[in-house]
Amino acid sequence: MKRPSRTWWLIALVLGLGAAALLVQRRLADRPPLTHLSAADLETLLEGMPESRRAFFSTPEGRRQLADQLRQALAMAQEARRLGLLGRTEVAAQLELQKISILASAYRDRHPEAEISDQEIERFFRTNPMALDQVFAANPQLSRSALNEQVRRQYGELVLLAERARKEGLDRDPRIALQLRIFPEFILQSYLLRELQQRTSVSDEEIRRYYEEHRTEFEQVRARHILFSTRPIARDGNPPPEKETVRRKAQEVLRRARAGEDFAALAREFSDDPGSKDRGGDLDFFGRGRMVREFEEAAFALQPGQISDLVETSYGFHIIKVEARRIAPLDEETRLQIEQTLRQKKIQERITQILKRYPITVEGAPSHS
C-alpha cells in the first residue's frame, strides 16, 4: 500500500509518555552536560545536514554562526537543567519524541523503501492502548479532531521505525549518536526561552522612561506620494512601458507638482499605487522601518510642504510630499512596540549572563575577527 507522506508534524507535539518520560528525565539528569564539541563533531553535524544548509554552514561565516548557535544551545540547556525544566513531564516527553523521530528518520534514510503494515500499526496500538489518550493528557488544548486516522498511523509508524533502528544499532552510529546527544539541547533551550519570555516583565514606568529617552525613535511623518510603477505587470492587456519612458512621465508630473498644482489631484490621476491613489496618495503617519529604505530616507529628509526629487525603489519612481512631522503618541501600539523591545533586551542580557556562566568550546570554526 502507499506509504503516507512524511509530514512528521507530530514532532511538534508534547506527548505525555508516562513512565517513558520519567525514564528520560532520569537518564538526562544523570548524563554529564555537553560542554565541548570537537572539530570532528562539527564535521559530523555538517555531514548530516540537508545539502542546502550544509552549503552555507560549510563557509567560514556559516561555521561561525553554527558554532555560536551550538554554544548558546548547550549553555542554555545547562541553565534549563539548573532551573528544573527537565523535571517537567512534557519536556522529557518532547525529548523522547525527538529521539524517536531521529531514529525513525535515520532508518528511513538507510531503508527508503521500508514499509510499516497496517497490521503492525494496529498491533502497536493494541499493545499501547493509552498512547493517544496520553497525547491529550499532556495537551489539553488539543481537540480530538486534530488527531485523525492519518496522524494516528504516522505516530505508530514513527515508533515502529525507531524500534527497527535500535535493533539495527543505528543509535550507535557516530552521526546519529551525536544528533541524539545535541538535538535535545536545542529543545531544552526552546523551553528555557519560553520560560524567560513568561518571567520577563516590563513595567509602565520602564515603558514611559524609554519613550522619553528615545523620542527620536518615534518620529513620524505624514506623506503623500505618486508612484510610477516599473514592475513588469501588464495593464489593459499591454506590457508596461520602458523604464526611461516611465521616468520621463514622472519628471513631467514632478514639474507640475513643484509648479503648484494640487498634489492630491495629481496622485489621483497618475499614481499606480492602488492603496493610496483614491486618497490622493495619502499614506497617513508612519515611522521608521515601515517603508522600503530609499523611500524612508527621502521622506524623513523632507520638511512639511517640501516635495522630493524622483525616488527610485523596487516598485518604480515616487514623488513624495511631506505634510507633517510629529513624535508618535504613547498609545497602545507604541507601548507594545516599546514593551517588546525592552523584553527582548532583558532576555538577551540574561542569555549573555548564561553564556558567561557556562563556557562552551566548539572547535573547527573560525574565530570572530
C-beta atoms surrounding 110 within 10 Å? 14
pLDDT score, position 314: 93
Distance between CA atoms of residues 30 and 51, nearest Å: 35
Where does the chain hold its CATH 3.10.50.40 domain(s)?
A: 217-327
Name, in order, each residue with C-beta under 8 angstroms of 316's C-beta and a sequence gap of 6 or more: 227, 228, 229, 230, 231, 246, 272
pLDDT recorded at residue 108: 94
Long-range contacts of 113-118 (CB under 8 A, 24+ apart): 114/161, 114/164, 115/1, 115/3, 116/3, 116/156, 116/157, 116/160, 116/161, 118/1, 118/153
pLDDT given at position 141? 66
Nearest CA to 189 out of 73, 33, 359 is that of: 73
Q: Tell me, what's the pLDDT at 15?
A: 37
Segment (H or E) for 251: helix 243-258
pLDDT digits (tens, 9 = 90+) for 219-270: 999 999 999 998 876 455 566 678 999 999 999 999 999 999 999 999 999 9
Q: Kindly give the parts of the chain with pLDDT less than 50.
A: 1-24, 137, 234
CB 295 within 8 A of CB 314: no
8: left (phi over 0), alpha (psi -120 to 50) or beta: left
User: DSSP letter at 337?
Assistant: H
pLDDT at residue 20, as a whole number:
45
> How far are the Cα atoms of 43, 44, 50, 60, 204 from residue 54, in angstroms, in the given order?
10, 11, 6, 12, 45
pLDDT (tens digit per residue) in 104-143: 999 999 999 999 999 999 999 999 887 766 555 455 566 6
Which amino acid appears at position 25 of this protein? Q
Write down the CATH number for the domain with range 217-327.
Answer: 3.10.50.40
pTM, to two decimals: 0.74
pLDDT at 6: 39
Any residues with CB less than 8 A from the CB of 54 and at least 6 apart, and which? Answer: 46, 47
